[in-house]
Each structure stands twice: as C-alpha cells, then as structure tokens.
Amino acid sequence: MLALVKTIRFETDDVISIELNPLGASPLPPFGAGDHIDLKLPNGLTKSYSLMNNPTESGRYVLGILKDPQSRGGSKWLHEQLRVGMHLEISAPSNNFPLQENAKHTLLIAGGIGVTPIIAMAHRLKALKASFEIIYAAKSKRSAPFQEAISSFGVPVHWHFDDEASGPPDLHPLIQERVQKAACSRDECQLYACGPEPMLNAFLNACKDLSLKNANIERFKPVEVLASAQIKRAYTVVLKKSNKTIEVTPEMSLLQALRHHDIEVDTSCEEGVCGACETRVLSGEPEHLDCVLSDQEREKNTVMMVCVSGCKSERLELDL
Ligand code: FES
C-alpha cells in the first residue's frame, strides 16, 4: 500500500522521525505495541522500522530512523532523499516483539534508537494502567532521541549516558534492583530490550544469571556471526504444497534454491531479521541462522526463516 509522508523532523543530529498518513480515504491498518512495517524504497531496498506512536492512533504511523554510517542505501536514502509529500510503499504492520499485557510488572529497556518500539509499548502499558518502568541508555544525552516522549509517561525512568558514566550501563544490578523492588517472582516480571547488539547480549546474560524467564528482545540487524555463516552442505528439500523435490548444493542458499525452482516465498529483509519468510517445517532439522526465533522456538523446529537458515539433516520437508 502507499502512504503519504506528512512530516519529517530532526530529533537529534542523526535521527529523524517520519509521520506517514493514509493516501486516500482508507485508513491505515491498525497496529499493536512492538509492531514494525517495511518501507519499500524507490532504490529497491526494503527496510523494517518499528512503529513508535500510540497504537490507538488510527490515522498515522510514526517511525524514528537513525542514519546508519554503514547504510547500504536504506537509512541514508531516507535521511537524504525523502521529502514531505512523497508517497512511500509500505507493508501492513507485523510483530516479532509482542507485548504481554497481563504482567505484574514490566521493565522496558531501550538503547539509543532502540527506544522506538519501547515508546509504543509504554503507550499501551500506560493505557492499561499497568505497572512498568523504563531504563534508557544512549551514548550521550545529545544523541538520545525522544527523551521527552519517555519522560511523558510519568513512570520511573533510569537514564544512562555513556559519556557521563564512562561506559555502557551494567544491566545486571539495574535489572536486579528493579525486579526486587517490584516484588514480583521471576515469572511475573516481563522484560523487553531493544538496542545495539552488545546491550542485548548483556541484557540476555543478566536475565539468565538472575533466572528471569521472560526476557524479550528485538534486534535491528542479524547477529554478525549468524549473518556471515554459510551452509556448506548439500541436502534435499521436499516441498509439500508444490509437490516438488529440490536439491540444495553447498554453493547456494535455501532461498536461492527455492527461487531457482520458481517457488514463491514472501521475503523482506532477507537477513533473518524481519520474520517475513517464516515457513512451516514438516520434517527434518533446520539450521536456524535467523534472529527472529527464540531459543524455545528453535528447539521445536516447527518453523524456520528460509532466507538465511539451512538444514542440519539430509532432508527437509517444508510447507511450501
Ligand atoms: S525475509 Fe526477513 S527474516 Fe527472512
């Protein structure tokens, strides 16, 4: 669908916010906290961004976009070429970072531009009158976008700026203290983190050490080690719906093999991040190389992201 670029605002030196409105009479599809949409850019790239406004707002989507110095043309194009009044092709909202709405207490942890889905979650929790608090870390106060929005929720916020504290936050004591203060059991507290990879790893380690079961993360980029991994083995893929059997050679990815045989698969990021290519696994053992599935989902082996993942067994049967 097409959306109208209503406003573009500089939030910090390298973060802009973009407000998208419906084009024509039909409203934009509703969205939930933690949802993202894909932007299909005129240069051929598709990029996913979290929706950060209040999910009760039906007439608009708001995104926060950091200009990534390593950009291949996604955030760079949006910062340099996007203009108010343009029409952008967007996907319907989808969610890899769902909010559990009935937690006794929720801890939201944002790192830099990772604050965007956290803001939408905070809107929702506030509307539910739920108990929650926020930890917001950034390299510096100047570089931290949407501080006003975070303050506006009227809940406790722990601010951390690396340049003032001589380094990133130590999440272990910060989380421990807040969970203890909330007086909830290890199962009753839900924790969400979105931010740079080192912060997410520190978050997951802290939750593991503290035996906190409900740790949820959203990554922007594939884990480097996973993204660079290549499946170097041959295997057979049986495609149930298409009634085809194809061979994947060590030189090709599963997605390449599927496309070579004209099998249509929905994709977006093609980096194992967005979840668009999730496919049901009927038998066989996938080699999961995505950042979408949780450890528990990986163990079940009932779905896989075919854009980056491969196969550990000799044969894989997919619902394609
Ligand atoms: S296309 Fe995004 S995870 Fe596969």
Provide DSSP, 203-261.
HHHHHHHTT---EEEE-SS--HHHHH----S-EEEEETTTTEEEEE-TTS-HHHHHHHT
What is the mean pLDDT of the segment spanning 143-148? 97
Distances (CA, A) of 23 to 4, 49, 132, 296: 6, 19, 36, 40
pLDDT digits (tens, 9 = 90+) for 201-218: 899 999 999 999 899 999
* Residue showing tokens 């999910």: 55
Q: How far apart are CA 306 and CA 273, in angstroms?
A: 11
Distances (CA, A) of 289 to 202, 295, 299, 308: 20, 11, 13, 6
pTM: 0.78
Return the pLDDT at 221: 63
Mutate to test the pocket of ligand 1, among 223, 273, 291 (most ligand atoms within 8 A of CB): 273
Q: How far apart are CA 248 and CA 216, in angstroms?
A: 33
CA-wise closest residue to 174 among 142, 137, 144: 137
Q: Is 268 in the pocket of ligand 1 (CB under 6 A)?
A: yes
Compute, in angstroms, the gap from residue 89 CA to the centroid of ligand 1.
18
Compute, in angstroms, the gap from residue 277 CA to the centroid of ligand 1.
5
Compute, in angstroms, the gap from residue 256 CA to the centroid of ligand 1.
13
Q: How far apart are CA 313 and CA 90, in angstroms?
A: 37
Return the pLDDT at 270: 82
- Domains located in the chain, CATH noted: 2-95 (2.40.30.10), 105-218 (3.40.50.80), 226-318 (3.10.20.30)
Distances (CA, A) of 141 to 5, 92, 152, 176: 28, 33, 17, 25
DSSP bridge pairs for 137: 111, 160
Q: Is 222 in the pocket of ligand 1 (CB under 6 A)?
A: no
pLDDT for 150 beyond 50: yes
Compute, in angstroms, the gap from residue 294 CA to the centroid of ligand 1.
15
Question: pLDDT band for position 223 (50/70/90)?
Answer: low
Compute, in angstroms, the gap from residue 28 CA to the centroid of ligand 1.
23
Mutate to test the pocket of ligand 1, among 219, 256, 307 (most ligand atoms within 8 A of CB): 307
C-beta of residue 71 within 8 angstroms of C-beta of residue 140: no
Which SS3 state, helix, strand or coil, does residue 298 take?
helix
Residues 6+ positions from 87 with CB-CB distance below 8 Å:
2, 3, 4, 5, 23
What is the mean pLDDT of the segment spanning 101-122? 97
C-beta of residue 194 within 8 angstroms of C-beta of residue 117: yes
pLDDT for 297 beyond 90: no
Compute, in angstroms, the gap from residue 314 CA to the centroid of ligand 1.
23
Q: How far apart are CA 7 and CA 313, in angstroms?
A: 50
Mutate to test the pocket of ligand 1, among 267, 293, 297 (most ligand atoms within 8 A of CB): 267
Atom number in ligand 1 closest to CA 290: 3
Return the pLDDT at 228: 46
